Amino acid sequence: MSEHRLFVALPLPDQTKKLIGEYQANLQTQIKWIPRDNLHITLAFIGETSFERISGINSVLKKVSDSFPIFSLTINNIRAVKGSSGMIWVTFEENQFYTSLAISLREKLNLNEKRKPLPHINLARLKKPTYREPLSEDPKFEAHTIHFTKIELWKSALTPTGAEYKVISSFPLKLNGDHSH
């Protein structure tokens, strides 16, 4: 029985990926950038999962996506995050729809995650965790709003060159108006 490393994600539109790519291109080399096609916002990390469980996970995602509306998140910062290895994140204004969606997924997928959901895009890992590049004051990022119309189940495979991601399934959010905040 093979295991798959799974998570539920919000895919990013090409316009946002382009904006982030331009930002990445302007920073220095002590950073291991996340490839543009791998950029996403994690809603729920599932972890190592057998192939046989994927259809059950898809059923949960369908039920949840049918009950949550399309929503938006607005970027509020790009910042270095301390941890075992430093990272650079794009962070967002607090949003109750994101929080409710993430908590609902955690509960319905029986995930044991107690931390408050924090929407973010991991842009990079810092090769030297002590390294702190001044982060963007780029006005292109100010109040950049992203509209989310679907959730996706992604698979990640860890390779010597980094993680490789693949979308397994996609589920549209409910079309009953945009709930930006």
Catalytic residues: 40, 120
Q: Round to whole Å and give the CA distance between 102 and 93.
A: 15
Contact by Cβ (8 Å): 5, 48 = yes
Contact by Cβ (8 Å): 38, 161 = no
Residue 121 vs residues 2, 63, 88: alpha-carbon distances, Å: 29, 25, 8
Q: What angle do CA 170, 174, 179 make, to 5 degrees?
A: 115
User: Residue 1: helix, strand or coil by DSSP?
Assistant: coil
Contact by Cβ (8 Å): 61, 169 = yes
